[in-house]
Each structure stands twice: as structure tokens, then as C-alpha cells.
Amino acid sequence: DGGITQSPKYLFRKEGQNVTLSCEQNLNHDAMYWYRQDPGQGLRLIYYSQIVNDFQKGDIAEGYSVSREKKESFPLTVTSAQKNPTAFYLCASSYVAVNQPQHFGDGTRLSIL
Amino acid sequence: EDQVTQSPEALRLQEGESSSLNCSYTVSGLRGLFWYRQDPGKGPEFLFTLYSAGEEKEKERLKATLTKKESFLHITAPKPEDSATYLCAVQGKNYGGSQGNLIFGKGTKLSVKP
């Protein structure tokens, strides 16, 4: 079945450590996105990519980095510069055409040790 | 500034008690309004896309409608399995310079008791 796979489901970060969240899709979508979800807040866009080897900052990109070396994969690194990384991270993908819905993975919950 | 506001924040219904969730939006040139369902610990699941005022979409007990300022998600005779958080998102013409970016509301948490 086609879908978006995020791993791991739970992740713990130590002080000063970088961690990488994985996102893979087999929906043949060109666009991929990373969101952060905090309690009581709407989803906030971290980074997005519409084509391989290109990506753009979203609203809250500071302290995060991404790469897009393959169409199917869009990993997110939470760096030590991100001072408040505890959140639920969601990856999504879509066709690039206007009005196309985004489809989401089941998220990674990141906590601080 | 583009904005999405959902109300109420939480809604408790008895099984079979129909109601509506509201999504009010302010956006520069609406390209699409999207409804999602999110279960605890899961990612949002796509439900509907609405493109223009007057449009309606239905799926089982859910019906989504759209006006120029707001959208409603009507739930008819809900069941306990309809309990979830329902998210609304809009896509405007100019947001972020990208065709894909969405602005999300904070969601309505629906609880349906048997």
C-alpha cells in the first residue's frame, strides 16, 4: 500500500545532540513537508521541498536542517541549536499542483532526556 | 495576515446527537480548504477538499460546506468512533510563494459518548 513512513515513532535527545527523523513516501509525490505540532497550537511548517535537491524554509526553520537527495526521502535533523525541541513532528507529501491535499505520516514524538 | 480559527475547541456529544464544527478563515485568494481527522498519537487523515463557496462534500456521517468566510463540518448521528480532533487548513494564493503551503487551525476535539 502507498503511504508515508516516519521513523522512529519515539525519539529522545540529549543536551547538545543532533538527531535525525526519517520520512519516506511511496506515493510518487514531488512535494514533501515537515511540520511541528505542539499542544494547543496548529501545525507549523518547518521546511518544505518541491523537487529533489531543493528545499525552502517554513515559518520555524531555526534549529532544523533537511536534505532532499531522493524523491522518496526527506529527513529532518533537529540540531542542538533548537532549544525547545520537544514536540510531535509530522511529515507530509503531496503533488505540486494547486489544490492538492497533503497526506501525512504517523509522526515522531521527540523528547528531551 | 492569513488566519484560520476553529470553534469550538472541544465538543462533547452523545451518540446520535448531530452537531457542527466551524472553521473561519481569512486568506488572500482561497485556493482550497481542507478538512482532516487526527486520532491521538497519529498523523492527520485527509477527509475533504473544498474549492469554492457553495460547494459541499459528504463522506458517511460527515458533510463539509464552504462559504466565502467559513466552512462547517456537519456530523450527523455521530458514533463513538467519530471521536477525534478535526483540523481545518486553507491554501491561499500568495502564502510563502509556494503552491503547497497550508495554514492550519488549532482543531476541534470531538468526543462522542455512547
Q: For A71-107, what is each residue's pLDDT tens digit? A: 999 999 999 989 899 999 999 999 987 778 999 999 9
- Please tell me the distance from the alpha carbon of residue A67 to that of residue A52, in angstroms, as a whole number: 9
Contact A98 B99 (CB under 8 A): yes
- Please tell me the distance from the alpha carbon of residue B7 to that of residue A14, in angstroms, as a whole number: 38
Which residue in chain A has the smallest CA separation from B4?
A: A42
Closest by alpha carbon to B5, among B86, B97, B106, B114? B106
Confidence category of residue B94, pLDDT binned at 50, 70, 90: low
Residue B97 has pLDDT above 70, yes or no: no
Residue B96 has pLDDT above 60, yes or no: no
Contact A98 B91 (CB under 8 A): yes
Q: Which residues of B39-65 are buried (b: 16+ CB within 10 A; e: fewer)?
A: eeebbbebbbbbeeeeeebeeeebbbb
Confidence category of residue B92, pLDDT binned at 50, 70, 90: confident
Contact B36, B45 (CB under 8 A): yes
Closest by alpha carbon to B89, among B25, B11, B22? B25
Contact B102 A102 (CB under 8 A): yes
- The 10s digit of each residue's pLDDT in A3-23 is 999 999 999 988 889 999 999
- B99 or B65, which is more confident? B65
Distance from CA of A87 to the nearest CA of B (A): 12
- The 10s digit of each residue's pLDDT in A39-75 is 888 899 999 999 999 999 998 999 999 999 999 999 9
CA angle in degrees (0–180, nearest 5) for B4-B24-B80: 95
- Please tell me the distance from the alpha carbon of residue A81 to that of residue A76, in angstroms, as a whole number: 14
Question: According to the model, what pLDDT value does residue A41 have?
Answer: 86
> Which of B42, B46, B98 is closest, CB to CB, to A48?
B98
- Please tell me the distance from the alpha carbon of residue B61 to that of residue B73, in angstroms, as a whole number: 10
Residue B99 has pLDDT above 80, yes or no: no
Question: According to the model, what pLDDT value does residue A34 have?
Answer: 97
Question: According to the model, what pLDDT value does residue B95 have?
Answer: 54
DSSP B39: -
- The 10s digit of each residue's pLDDT in B27-66 is 888 889 999 999 999 999 999 999 999 999 999 999 999 9
